[in-house]
Structure 1
Amino acid sequence: MNTYRRTATIVGVLYIVGTVAGILSGAFTQSTLSDPDYLSKVSANESQIVIGTLFLLTMSLALAMVPVMLFPILKKQNEILAIGYVVFRGALEAVVGIIMAISQLLLILVSQQYAADVHNASHFQNLGAFVLKGNDSINPVLIITFSLGALILYTMFYQSRLIPRWISVWGFAAILLHFSTAFLILFHVVRSDDMSTLLTFNFPIFLQEMVMAVWLIAKGFNSSAITAKSTSVNTNELQMSTAK
């Protein structure tokens, strides 16, 4: 049982680290990247972009570790869904995060050339716009992969009762709201840099994940649900052994 308690604590801490790192990443980069004269701003604030990018990578790594830590527990509930969760919230989300980090570092290189070569400014403006547009286009992909992984997780949590069902239901409803922002951005209903609107849609899942993280750290997983599942697995193994 100590292993489950330790896993719950680690997962809770990873959620908090990933969320705080994501907020700090945006705080360091958003105002610069959303500025109309972003190339000049990036070259003048390189250290901020680098720090923000490091926070972005920290967020990606921390949140990618969550499904890795949960997999041994979740696979006992449903191995196929557990693998799907690892794919979406682990592998795919981490890859998308790394791509976004690389694009931000590329903008630093472009901005340096833009500042150094005024004669070819238009060329670097076009190149910068291409990189920035690509970064903005990746954002809905990140939202979709995050949302699909979260939907799998809350489905499994609800079925297994590893955490209180009200937290799972809250997560399910909040992630659907967050999921909708991907399509609002794709269909140009909302701009990807419209922070006030996106915050309104994203705050419920942010709050839910923090509540869940604190619950996991303070309470851990439901011990009766773990015991019931372990008993069921042992019974099935005994029946299979007897049948042979």
Structure 2
Amino acid sequence: MNTNDMNRNLSLALGVAFLLQACTSLISGAFLFNPFVIPGDISTTMLNLGHNAGMVHASIIGDVITALGIIFLATMLFLVVGKQNKAMALVALGFYIIEAVILVVSKFAAFVLLNISQEYVATGDNALVLMGKLALETKDFIYRIHIIPFGLGAIIFYYLLYRSNAIPKWLSLWGLFAVPLVLVGVVLKIYGVNAVSVFAVPYVPFEFFAGIYLVVKGRN
């Protein structure tokens, strides 16, 4: 296999990794879990979760797949940009692995929440409401924390992508501009300011766009 073929294969694999990670995280959260969560109404949330256990299980599995996708994406990014600065690329890879581990841990909290919710549906015991609220808050807190190592690793990887010219510089700059905003939004959310969605808007389409671009580039 010549160098051009290897570059095309790497580009294609990196594009697939971007798309896999973006799609699984969107589906597991936005479509399989979040619709059952009613802000400020933990009792209804627990009833929704308890009556839709199959969807919640699918969300948990989806996020586990997302975690594996994160490691796959980090590996592909390392292979693409490692020659620019191996030490920096290794640090970024480490951050992504930490992100994936924290995401999986948050799914344990989601599983506990589901079990409590099913028990609440079966018994109606109001004492379970406080436990459910605690489990939901724990899950959400851990989930938000996983964004921090992602952001740190992504900034490094996108900087190395900018230097490598593996993707157009404007696309790398898009990522470098958008990721710090995501970090700001998460930190504000941890301190009770509900601004995550606003700060995440510039980044949301990035992984889809980058994935599609790299898949087309790799296939061509």
Q: Give the TM-score taking structure 1 as reference length.
A: 0.80
What's the CA shift for 1:3?
Answer: 2.1
Partner amino acid, structure 2, of 1:117? T
Q: Tell me, what secondary structure is at the counterpart of 1:219?
A: helix
Q: Is the 8 A contact 1:28 1:49 kept in 2?
A: yes
1:76 aligns with 2:83: yes
Q: Tell me, what secondary structure is at the counterpart of 2:173?
A: helix
Partner in structure 2 of residue 56 of structure 1: 63
Separation in 2, partners of 1:200, 1:129: 25
Separation in 2, partners of 1:32, 1:53: 14
- Runs (4 or more) in structure 1 with deviation over 3 Å come to 197-200
Counterpart selection for 2:14 from 8, 11, 14: 11
Q: RMSD in angstroms over aligned alpha carbons?
A: 1.7
Partner in structure 2 of residue 113 of structure 1: 119
Q: Tell me, what secondary structure is at the counterpart of 1:81?
A: helix
What's the CA shift for 1:8?
Answer: 1.5
Aligned counterparts, 1:72-221, within 5 A = 72-89=79-96, 91-118=97-124, 121-190=125-194, 198-220=196-218
Alignment: residue pair count: 211
What's the CA shift for 1:39?
Answer: 1.5
1:21 aligns with 2:24: yes
What's the CA shift for 1:174?
Answer: 0.9
Q: Is the 8 A contact 1:12 1:217 kept in 2?
A: yes
Q: Is the 8 A contact 1:7 1:70 kept in 2?
A: no
* Higher-RCO chain (CA-CA 8 Å, sequence separation at least 6): 2
Per-residue CA distance 1:121-142 (angstroms, 9 max, x = gap): 2332122111111111113212
Partner amino acid, structure 2, of 1:93? E
Larger Rg: 1
What's the CA shift for 1:201?
Answer: 2.2
Q: Is the 8 A contact 2:162 2:173 kept in 1?
A: yes
Q: Give the TM-score taking structure 2 as reference length.
A: 0.89
Separation in 2, partners of 1:28, 1:21: 11
Separation in 2, partners of 1:64, 1:211: 20
Partner amino acid, structure 1, of 2:121? A
CA separation of 1:88 and 1:34: change in aligned 2, threshold 3 A: farther
Partner amino acid, structure 2, of 1:6? N
> Which 5+ residue runs of structure 2 have no aligned equivalent?
none
Q: Is the 8 A contact 2:103 2:143 kept in 1?
A: no
Q: Is the 8 A contact 2:188 2:196 kept in 1?
A: no
Separation in 2, partners of 1:8, 1:34: 41
> Which 5+ residue runs of structure 1 have no aligned equivalent?
191-196, 221-244
Q: Is the 8 A contact 1:14 1:66 kept in 2?
A: yes
Q: Tell me, what secondary structure is at the counterpart of 2:83?
A: coil
Q: Which moved more, 1:198-207 or 1:60-69?
A: 198-207
